[in-house]
Amino acid sequence: MNGVNEIRAAFLDFFRKHDHEIVASSPLVPRNDPTLMFTNAGMVQFKNLFTGIEKRPYSRASTAQKCVRAGGKHNDLDNVGYTARHHTFFEMLGNFSFGDYFKPVAIELAWKLITQVFDLPKDRLLVTVYHDDDEAFDLWKKIAGFPDSKIIRIATSDNFWAMGDTGPCGPCSEIFFDQGDKLFGGPPGSADEDGDRFLEFWNLVFMQYEQRGPGDRIALPKPSIDTGMGLERIAALLQGVTSNYDIDLMRTLILAVAQATGVDPDGPMRASHRVIADHLRASSFLIADGVLPSNEGRGYVLRRIMRRAMRHAQLLGAEEPLMWRLVPALTREMGQAYPELLRAEALVVETLRLEESRFRATLARGLSMLEEETRSLGEGGILSGEIAFRLYDTYGFPLDLTQDALRNRNLSVDTEGFTRAMERQRAEARKAWSGSGEAATDTHWFALREQLGPSEFLGYETEKAEAFVQALLQDGTRVDHLDAGQKGVLILNQTPFYGESGGQVGDTGHIIAPGMRFKVENTQKKLGDLFIHEGVVEEGSVTPGLEVRTLVDHQRRSAVRANHSATHLLHEALRQVLGDHVAQKGSLVTPERLRFDFSHPKPVTPEEWQKIEDIANRIILENAPVATTQMSIEDAMGSGARALFGEKYGEEVRVVSMGYDEEKATDPTEPLSPFSVELCGGTHVTRTGDIGLLTIVSEGPVAAGVRRIEAKTGSAARHHLNARANVLHTLLMQLKSPEEEAGKRLASLIEERRKLDRDLSDARKKLAMKGDGESTTTWREIDGIKFFPHVVTGVDMKDLKSLVDQAKQTIGSGVVAVIGVAEDGKASVVIGVTNDLIDRFDAVSLVRIAAEPLGGKGGGGRKDMAQAGGPNGQAAEASLAAVEAALHTVLAAS
């Protein structure tokens, strides 16, 4: 049970057996504490459980927590590699009680674990308690059977643990192991306590209070327990070694360094091996948790750690980038306990390789400048801050790298001079900005960005985080509060809200604090990295400095993620089916759908459409991991990543690849190349299967040579297809036909209908000529002229005319007047005059007379045939009578 992995497992197993919930390590970037740079203790993720703000279904928990102490208050970076205990990254084992058990059970469990499971000899153990904590003193006496001399009362803050200036705190009791007099050092509280002999390996904190501010301490709702055991320390004890760097896990990493460089790990370069082993862990775990090297904030701490390790790699004579080659050794050792490391392996490897190859280009030159500048300095000398700043500015040397490089020669740096030089440069940059002629509307963003620094984006890793409000704006002006009902903009120090860019819409959701609720209606990104949250205060008020919790609308973001990844698949599928000329001309990714514009000279055929959809869905069904890496723009282009022509990219770019391309595979021993590789800053699914399903909903032209395709994924795609299936189902029900015969059935129905129409029209005409019962009129003589008045129903205008023609033929010579009354009561009238009579009667004049009683006006046609209409069908007989009267008048006059 001696290996680090076994010790970790045994610890968790012990507490599992004692009814503790085993909770996974929280990420190194704390999501619930905006004031903390990195998670630095096991209790960080439980902070709000102690104070009672948050409730969970368990009241006992146990964890193995990854921790980083570098940057900020607990900065161990300087010492790392040179001492037996300092690390930037370490693991803390802990057990926690949230108002469940308190001191007696905590001490009992601790004693049982170390003496019965870990089998540490009792006579080598001793403890400290806070000076006035008689209860803990008595418990140790009773449970461990210690004599008074082994329970040391300490009055300093060493035995009163506090998370920070605010937060839960309480007296603590530390457990020590006496490694024997072969090592220098005295027991805790003695003058020599800093020596290595007495090793503190477990801290039991009796959480009782909450520090709310200076001098403001209240009792917690219930006394609780927080313990922290350094895994590397207990491993050293159990493995009988006196340095954390000699435990199995660290030794494996150190041997990997030795193997890669050929340098003796136990010789004079020992510290360099240790620095690299330690920094490899910190860098890899930070990258896996979403931190990328940059020149500010967390990213800069990471860069400092990486570059420090890289300088030591150079000291070991490594001629090529080294760190990335050590990653497999690390994942073998720790990947099982921390699967996030396995998932991010590609990202870690690429990020390390990129950083090291760029830094190597300036490292040697910087070091020789340093050599030159310090040649004249004697022991204890101080390097000017100006030079240290030039090393930083020109060669990318973080200050602590310069300090580390001078350490062996007992030289130091004028850090104040360094800071002054840095300030001066900032002031100059500010001046340059104001004259840079950037869009005037953006000037206030420049000022804000300069003052606040970039917002740290946490949204690749999480949708929930804590942050504090840096600034508030109303109508573009900074204000010191926003109240319920007011619209405005919030700027936070860090945020998981995605700011609209790259075609992907900005996130929405809520930003909350006790008594305050701000609805985020949109998130925008200004100047590349200043995130602004636009929305409205729904409740309470917001002021700068307020600690808030950010909640991205999860459903909406998930849909956006799926649509963004689907856009990449569609892009590649389009190229494969339509050809290499397909280039992205624009895209829009929303929760409802995705839109992709691309160059293509003609419509996509139904067969192509089907193929594109098939390819995209094949990759979705592969459920392949979606990998993100960080690369130089040149490497990314070299790898064939798709980029937008004309788009401005930074020197380092994020590359998103997904799926496997079986079609391109030729060598069975080589891994399959990815299906899609694109430069992209958007948020994506973890595996292609998360997209669920893709369906194209439309395709059409947008501009000359540019087509637009729209598609849906997941539930939206399913709803779309369901709606179409429902339409089909209804149609089939009405057709009363199975699906496969529906086409034939419909064609025959249409044919049948055509035939019926023809038959109906014929029948109506025949019927109309014979009289239909309502109208009994046939022709009659008026003063020697035949007059044929007729009223019909249900006959079309074109048929009315043919009826009039037929009637003209039947009577041979005379006047025909036929009125057709439609179902809605409207009337059409057609008047026919046989050719022999057109000198005496004019059909057009007659039809105008006929139209009047029908409520119509006018009418038109020729002398032998004219038509008109009117709304009053019920006046049909009156209309015919008016025509008859007109005939009489004409005849009487002639």
Residues engaged in binding ligand SER (CB under 6 A): 41-43, 94, 161, 203, 205, 226-228
In the complex, least distance from residue 203 CB atom to ligand SER, rounded to whole angstroms: 4
State how far the Cα of 422 lies from the Cα of 838, in Å rounded to an integer: 108
Give the strand pairing for 216-230 and 198-213: antiparallel
CA distance 304 to 424: 22
Least separation in angstroms between CB 158 and ligand SER: 11
Q: What is the DSSP letter of 874?
A: G
Closest contact distance (angstroms) between CB of 301 and ligand SER is: 19
Q: Taking Cα atoms as reference points, which of 296, 288, 304, 347 lies closest to residue 530?
A: 296
Comparison of 47 and 571: residue with beta carbon closer to ligand SER: 47
End-to-end CA distance of the chain: 133
Report the C-alpha gap between 643 and 637 in whole angstroms.
8
Q: Which is nearer to ligand SER, 44 or 363 (CB)?
A: 44
Question: Minimum Å distance from CB 240 to ligand SER?
Answer: 24
Of 560, 511, 555, whose CA–CA distance to 536 is shortest?
511
| β strands within 319-378, DSSP E | none
- Report the SS3 class of residue 448: helix
Nearer to ligand SER, 205 or 573 (CB): 205
Q: Looking at beta carbons only, is 42 or 171 nearer to ligand SER? A: 42
CB 243 to ligand SER: min, Å? 21
Residue among 203 and 867 whose Cβ is closer to ligand SER: 203
Question: Is there a contact between 423 and 416 (Cβ–Cβ < 8 Å)?
Answer: no
Q: What are phi and psi of 850, to 5 degrees?
A: -65, -35
Contacts of residue 64, Cβ cutoff 8 Å, sequence gap at least 6: 8, 11, 12, 25, 91, 92, 93, 231, 337
Tokens of 86: 């300092």
Beta strands 477-479; 464-474: pairing state: antiparallel
User: Which residue lies nearer to ligand SER by CB, 47 or 564?
Assistant: 47
Task: Report in angstroms how near the CB of residue 30 gets to ligand SER at its nearest.
Answer: 14
Minimum distance from residue 109 beta carbon to ligand SER (Å)? 14
> Minimum Å distance from CB 43 to ligand SER?
5
**Cα-based distances in Å from 184 to 128, 154, 192, 818:** 19, 21, 8, 127
| Nearest-angstrom CA–CA distance, 169 and 211 | 7
CB of 229 to ligand SER, least distance (A): 8
| Closer residue to ligand SER in complex, CB, 63/775 | 63
Minimum distance, C-beta of residue 307 to ligand SER, in the bound complex (Å): 28
Compute the least distance from the CB of residue 298 to ligand SER, in Å: 20
Q: List alpha helices for 171-289, DSSP H.
A: 231-239, 248-261, 270-288
Min dist. Cβ of residue 14 to ligand SER (A): 16
Smaller CB distance to ligand SER: residue 15 or 518?
Answer: 15
285 vs 333: CA distance, rounded Å: 13
Count of CA atoms in the C-beta half-sphere (13 A) of 496 = 25
CA–CA gap between residue 100 and residue 122 (Å, rounded): 28
Minimum CB distance to ligand SER, residue 57 (Å)? 22
Nearer to ligand SER, 175 or 626 (CB): 175
Closest of 139, 117, 143 to residue 17, by C-alpha: 117
383 contacts 411 by C-beta, under 8 angstroms? yes
Q: At CA 864, angle to CA 863 and CA 870, rounded to 5?
A: 80
The alpha carbon of 274 is separated from its chain's Cα centroid by a whole number of angstroms, namely 37
d(C-alpha 839, C-alpha 841), whole Å: 6
Strand partners, 472: 479, 490
| 188 or 535: CB nearest ligand SER | 188
Give the residue with the Cβ less far from ligand SER, 210 or 345: 210
CB of 582 to ligand SER, least distance (A): 55
- The closest residue (CB) to ligand SER is 228
CB closer to ligand SER out of 39 and 351: 39
- State in angstroms the smallest separation of the CB of 640 from ligand SER: 47
- In the bound state with ligand SER, the residue whose beta carbon lies nearer, of 8 and 600, is 8
How many whole angstroms separate alpha carbon 69 and alpha carbon 86? 9
Pick the closer one to ligand SER by CB: 205 or 520.
Answer: 205
Give whichever of 50 and 457 is closer to ligand SER, judged by the CB atom.
50
Rounded Cα distance between 333 and 251, Å, is 11
Q: Which is nearer to ligand SER, 228 or 814 (CB)?
A: 228
Instruction: Please give the structure tokens belonging to residue 663.
Output: 């079609």
Alpha-carbon distance values, 642 to 55, 568, 653, 656, 751 (Å) = 46, 10, 12, 10, 53
Concatenated DSSP letters of 438-454? --GGGHHHHHHHHHH-P
| Smallest separation (angstroms) from ligand SER to the CB of 400 | 24
Closest to ligand SER by CB, 35 vs 543, is 35
Helices 297-315 and 270-288 cross at an angle (nearest 10°) of: 150
Choose between 233 and 764: whose C-beta lies nearer to ligand SER: 233
Q: How far is the CB of 140 from ligand SER (least distance, A)?
A: 17
HSE of 194, CA atoms in CB hemisphere, 13 A: 2
H-only helix segments in 597-737? 606-622, 633-638, 714-735
Strands (DSSP E) along 108-261, which ranges? Answer: 125-130, 151-154, 160-162, 167-178, 198-213, 216-230
826/870 Cα distance (integer angstroms): 6
DSSP 8-state class, residue 471:
E
Largest CA distance in the chain: 151
Both tokens of 164, joined, read 């920070």
Tell me how far, at minimum, the Cβ of 344 lies from ligand SER, in Å.
26
